[in-house]
Amino acid sequence: MIVSSVVLSAFAAITLWWTMHAWRTPETLAATRFAEPDGDHKLTFSLLLPARHEQAVLEHTVDRLLRSTHQGYEIIIIVGHDDPDTAAVAERIALRAPGRILVITDHNEVKNKPRALNTALPYVRGDVVGVFDAEDVVHPELLEHVDHAFRSTRADVVQGGVQLINFQSSWFSLHNCLEYFFWFRSRLHLHANKGFIPLGGNTVFVRTDVLRGANGWDGTCLAEDCDLGVRLSSRGAKVVVAYEASLVTREETPDTIGSLVKQRTRWNQGFLQVLRKGEWRRLPSMRQRVLARYTLVGPFLQAFSGVAIPVGVGVALATSLPIGVALATFVPVVPMLANIVFQTIGLRDFGKQYHLSVTARDYARLILGAFPYALILSVAALRAVWREYTGRRNWELTAHVGAHLQGNATAETTTAGAA
């Protein structure tokens, strides 16, 4: 028990330290933002938009992309041959912008996101490939900032920010939104600085020649974004990460606990696949390889610690343990409580960044929901291990209902005005 307490303490402390990366100094926080663009539109973009059973949200996303202030871009919508409803919406939208929108049909019998993206890759004409999801709310000025980021930093990859917005939709949506906030605003910047990064699933931009040189996406991987990041990192690609509230791509949380469990199961199982593939072993330094291994098993350590620490404390309080063992049981509580305090501060900052009203009820949901949310993550982690062990690797699609679109225009106007 003492050994497990030490391990859990170390994991909780490391997680907290990494989560705080962007806030360590004012200079570090400032470095997470996009630099002001110079107004030149020198790069061209091919924006890939895989859409499967997304007829309810696809049109809104494409309309947002068509508002882009950048001059050189095309939109490639990928629809399945067995999804006539989404295909009909895509074809109707394409008629409004001939020459700007191309609709590609994915004829793969096994449908998933990486296979859809690979289907579109031969049709790409831009210097840079960008990936978005069908429910995304994309800022019109994003491509200008990405264009400038590529040219000013000589990057091979630019990862923009993604943010779940509808934090008040349910008790678990608040925790989900904060996870994204800390991951894209802070954690990914640390990974980019260390030379190993599991890329985000959208608002990621890769030079076309670099992407084709890496043979696109792994069509068998359930975390194709993480896999691509690992492969590019192992090849020495330069990745730049930028997060700015006024420019992030806005998304919604899964609408049910079941959907959340399935989504996290897919991500966790994908991390297991990437770990097993072993591309991370090609990273040049031992420190990068240790970071890679730790990151890929991180979701499982997080799920275990989130449940084990409260349970261990409960056992220590309810039973008669030797004093030394009982004290050791409480050691992991210190970084765990520090993490809750930091999340509370983060929730305040999240509300401030997006001009959202955070109430006392939200802070209560954050604290009281910490353990139940950890249970959800634990279920997803166990389910991922079981599915991988039994060979079940089908893509469980996350349904989108547009919860992040409610009141979105007002919030965006306010955020943009404050930027």
Looking at residue 64, its pLDDT comes to 95
Q: Where are the alpha helices (DSSP H) in 20-170?
A: 26-30, 58-66, 84-96, 113-120, 142-153
Rounded CA gap, 122 and 275, in Å? 28
Taking a C-beta distance cutoff of 8 angstroms, is the pair 54, 80 a contact? no
Domain coordinates in residue numbering, the chain = 1-419
Contacts of 101 (CB under 8 A, 6+ apart): 62, 74, 75, 76, 77, 93, 94
Dihedral pair phi/psi, residue 138, rounded to 5°: -105, 135
Residue 416 has pLDDT above 50, yes or no: no
Looking at residue 317, its pLDDT comes to 57
Looking at residue 319, its pLDDT comes to 64
Report, as an integer, the average pLDDT of 217-240.
96
**Distance (Å) of CA 399 to CA 48, 134, 200, 258:** 19, 11, 19, 11
Give the whole-number percent of the chain exceeding pLDDT 90.
Answer: 75
Residue 151 has pLDDT above 90, yes or no: yes
Residue 327 has pLDDT above 50, yes or no: yes
Looking at residue 81, its pLDDT comes to 96
* pLDDT band with cut points at 50, 70 and 90 for residue 242: very high
Report, as an integer, the average pLDDT of 147-154.
97
Taking a C-beta distance cutoff of 8 angstroms, is the pair 124, 76 a contact? yes
Q: Per DSSP, what are the bridge partners of residue 408? A: none
Report, as an integer, the average pLDDT of 57-70.
96
Rounded CA gap, 189 and 159, in Å? 10
Looking at residue 288, its pLDDT comes to 96
Q: Which CATH architecture has domain 1-419?
A: Alpha-Beta Complex (3.90)
Radius of gyration of the chain (CA): 21
Summarize pLDDT for 264-275 with one digit per residue, the tens. Answer: 999 999 999 999
Summarize pLDDT for 281-291 with one digit per residue, the tens. Answer: 999 999 999 99
Looking at residue 18, its pLDDT comes to 86
Rounded CA gap, 272 and 299, in Å? 10
Give the whole-number percent of the chain exceeding pLDDT 70.
Answer: 86
Report, as an integer, the average pLDDT of 319-323.
61
Residue 292 has pLDDT above 80, yes or no: yes
Residue 413 has pLDDT above 90, yes or no: no
Summarize pLDDT for 69-118 with one digit per residue, the tens. Answer: 999 999 999 999 999 999 999 999 999 999 999 999 999 999 999 999 99
Looking at residue 227, its pLDDT comes to 97
* pLDDT band with cut points at 50, 70 and 90 for residue 124: very high
Residue 168 has pLDDT above 80, yes or no: yes
Residue 410 has pLDDT above 50, yes or no: no
Looking at residue 418, its pLDDT comes to 42
Summarize pLDDT for 366-405 with one digit per residue, the tens. Answer: 999 988 998 899 999 999 999 999 999 998 877 666 666 6
Q: Per DSSP, what are the bridge partners of residue 214? A: none
The per-residue pLDDT of the chain, averaged, comes to 89
